[in-house]
Amino acid sequence: MFESLNDPVDVLTAFVNGAIEPLRFRWKGRVVRIRSVTGRWTRREGQTMLRYFSVEGNATDTYELCYDPRIPRWILSRAWTAE
């Protein structure tokens, strides 16, 4: 099932060699462990550079996370789940 979202989420993040690495996040009351980051890109919004991550979770679930450094906060933009 595909969902286009704009949900704020809590993300456990590591900073490795100056790069942001999302490890897991909480969504709908459950923790989603990130198995791999499959894509990274940025998008400029005014003076701010938003950082996007395509990540694989459990089984075949794929998610799009966005880090907005202005607030700072993480947003779950999209989800492709088996539900």
Rounded CA separation 70/56 (Å): 26
pLDDT tens digits, 3-48: 788 999 999 999 989 889 999 999 989 999 999 999 999 999 999 9
Rounded CA separation 83/74 (Å): 23
Q: What is the pTM of this model?
A: 0.91
Q: 10: which strand partners? A: 26
**Local structure of 60: helix, strand or coil:** coil
Tally of CB atoms within 10 A around 55? 23
Local structure of residue 41 (DSSP, 8 states): E
pLDDT tens digits, 44-81: 999 999 999 999 998 789 999 999 999 999 999 999 98
